[in-house]
Amino acid sequence: MTTTPTPYDDAKAQLKRAQEILGFSDDDYELLATPRREITVAVPVKRDDGTKTVLRGYRIQHNWSRGPGKGGVRYSERVDMEEVRALAMLMTWKAALLNLPYGGAKGGIAFNPAEYSKAEIERITRRYVHELFPVIGPDIDIPAPDMGTDAQTMAWFMDTYSQAVGYTQPGIVTGKPVSLGGSLGRAEATSLGVYFTTRAALGHLGIEENDATVAVQGFGKVGRGAARFMDKAGMKVVAISDVFGAIYNADGIDTDALGEHVDETGKVVDFAGAEAMDPEELLLLDVDAVVPAAIEAVITKDNAADVKARVVVEGANGPTTGSGDAILNERGVMVVPDILANSGGVLVSYYEWVQSRDNFFWDLERVQKSQEAAMLAVWDEVVEFSKEHSVNLREAAVSMAVERVLDAHKMRGLFP
């Protein structure tokens, strides 16, 4: 009986491929594959009706050779230890690829926030922070928003931690409201980075922005902003989906009008400026670029052979399984890996962390120009490594990141 590889299995397979490319030892592989710290906590919560329930929370600090842990907190009923392990490892490589002074971490609580009131979610958040208090901090592990969490969640997180230490500590999290020391440009940073890397990939293939067609899966935190940036730049966004359905317009979707429709109705379906389509067909459209910006494991061995786009830009974390990735590469489809494509969020989180520590805040132009310069410089490095070693972009990006982490570890040495 064969089992479906978990996200952590796929993450370790990427690391194993980096080992083959770089030639480091099995001992070093084990060191890099094994999280440095794994925490499981009980999160008891009193519901609004007076009943009590106990949720399960996680925080994994995968590596801190290059600096404190950094990574999001997600609220989803699908959260489990395997998923968090994979995402924490991904964060290690993402931070190293961008040359940020961070290691990788990730956390989450297994529940569906749609089934809880705002007051209940606040109590859950504050209890989670209380349970993690000994192992987080602005120089230890700095959380950020992720699926199911937002700036308000980070405000509660910051306040709870600050109450415990006895003074306001804005550096404990990133992705905070600007009024509490958050950075301008942080909310849209991941989306903007997806746009930057999509533009770079299309340009690499000789496709001009004004001639490009794009399909975006997901109209949430990442997909909505990415679609809007692409639309404003002249790309033709012909298809967009969310959890309720998908829409298509061969002439391009007006993303501003769609945003207003979603704000009013909560879903992309029934938008007057497009027709309904099968959501599963969106990834298979004959367009220049497909942007999976929703959940993981949507391009698999079952549909990768039918992807017609020349470029897949991974706006989500892990949207392509290992087997799906192999098929895309065999067919010559360029895949811009998640650790590069959606790295804008951690990059601007770093800018926010620096601003919080210095109490000196940047204007939006500085944030976005710095983000663009940094991400395009990394794009060039990844492309160059890919050519030099005759590997694909994912193998190049992961190998570059792994090499930096391993070098940092060896320079520090192994504590007796």
Range of the domain at 205: 189-336
- Asked if pLDDT for residue 203 goes beyond 70, the answer is yes
Please report which helix (H) or strand (E) contains residue 210, including its range: none
**125 CB-side CA count, 13 A:** 29
- % of residues, the chain, pLDDT over 70: 99
In a domain, 398, yes or no: no
Distance separating alpha carbons of residues 233 and 245, to the nearest angstrom: 25
The answer to whether 116 touches 149, Cβ cutoff 8 Å, is no
What local confidence, expressed as pLDDT, does residue 272 receive? 92
Which of 12, 70, 106, 221 is an active site residue? Answer: 106
What local confidence, expressed as pLDDT, does residue 416 receive? 67
Shared domain for 162 and 211, answered yes or no, is no
In a domain, 384, yes or no: no
Q: Where does a domain end: 272, 303, 336?
A: 336
In this structure, what CATH number is given to the domain that contains residue 73? 3.40.50.10860
Q: What digits encode the pLDDT tens for the residues 364-374?
A: 999 999 999 99
Q: What digits encode the pLDDT tens for the residues 377-391?
A: 999 999 999 999 999
Coil, strand, or helix at residue 333? coil
In this structure, what CATH number is given to the domain that contains residue 228? 3.40.50.720
| Active-site annotation holds for 16 | no
* pTM for this entry: 0.92
- The count of domains in the chain is 2
Shared domain for 198 and 118, answered yes or no, is no
- Asked if pLDDT for residue 1 goes beyond 70, the answer is no
Q: Where does a domain end: 126, 154, 179?
A: 179
In a domain, 408, yes or no: no
What local confidence, expressed as pLDDT, does residue 2 receive? 55
Average pLDDT of the segment spanning 87-107: 96
Q: What digits encode the pLDDT tens for the residues 286-309?
A: 999 999 998 878 899 999 999 999
